[in-house]
Amino acid sequence: MRFPAADAAGRGAMQPLDLRTKEEQVADFLREGIISGVFARGSRLKQAEIAERLQLSITPVREALKLLEAEGYVTGDSYRGACVAPFDASASEEVLELRLLLESRLIRGTAEKLSTQDITELRSLADEFEQAFNAGDRAGARGINYRFHRRMYSIADMPQTLHFVQILWARYPFDLINAVEGRGREAAKEHDAILRALLDGDASAAMLAMRKHIESGWSLLKPK
């Protein structure tokens, strides 16, 4: 089985099979769709439509929605249909501080375990992100950005830490940050800085580059 990555037209690019359960793969498909804006805040997620798109039965979709409800991505009754959780535009300083703490821990773990193949995959995703933004496909770029960060952090092999980070992502204003003119270009440069540090095997520099990346996006929400 191969799952499609969410796109703005509701079609999807084919992604390789991994070792996660069907429920976990559906949950990740929906997380990406929510963060990218393909599934708009407040919109209804219909189990039958999702199952048909992914060519699955209702059961893994239902279980995935239960998981996303617990994480804060969706609200409502997962049996009758869930809604994408409405977004609080004023993301708190606490969420920012937790992201900095946990994602620094993850990037350090990634630096310690990174392989040549990992770098190749991350470089490809970073290039896809930049190309999508240059083409004006912001929803597509946000989806690629999600896959870039998730792939990078998964290398650290800290599943509990990554789980908590994904919960924080549900509460973070990616929609607002990535709508700012020029943010895509700056984010692409910041991705490059992270990858250069990882390629050099410099965990401290990678952590600093990741911190600057997160803080740079957050600064766009502060009043001038």
Name the region of 84 (left: φ>0; alpha: ψ -120 to 50; beta: rest).
beta
pLDDT at 6: 55
- For residue 21, the surrounding DSSP H or E stretch is none
pLDDT at 181: 82
Helices (H), 72-222: 93-113, 116-134, 138-154, 159-169, 174-178, 183-199, 203-219
DSSP assigned state of 15 = -
Over the chain (224 residues), what is each successive 10-residue block's mean pLDDT? 48 47 92 88 90 93 93 75 76 85 97 96 96 90 93 96 93 79 91 97 97 91 61
Contact 122, 150 (CB under 8 A): no
> Where are the domain boundaries for CATH 1.20.120.530 in the chain?
93-219
State the burial class of residue 184 (Cβ atoms within 10 Å of its Cβ: 0-12, 13-18, 19+).
buried
Return the SS3 of 27: helix
pLDDT at 19: 59
pLDDT at 112: 95
Return the SS3 of 202: coil
What CATH number belongs to 93-219? 1.20.120.530
pLDDT at 206: 97
State the burial class of residue 73 (Cβ atoms within 10 Å of its Cβ: 0-12, 13-18, 19+).
buried
pLDDT at 91: 57
State the burial class of residue 161 (Cβ atoms within 10 Å of its Cβ: 0-12, 13-18, 19+).
middle
* Cα 116 from Cα 66, distance rounded (Å): 37
pTM of the model: 0.80
First CA to last CA across the chain, in angstroms? 49
Q: Are strands 4-5 and 13-14 parallel, antiparallel or unpaired?
A: antiparallel
State the burial class of residue 34 (Cβ atoms within 10 Å of its Cβ: 0-12, 13-18, 19+).
buried
pLDDT at 15: 42
> Where are the domain boundaries for CATH 1.10.10.10 in the chain?
4-84
pLDDT at 164: 94
CATH 1.10.287.3510 corresponds to the domain 4-84: no
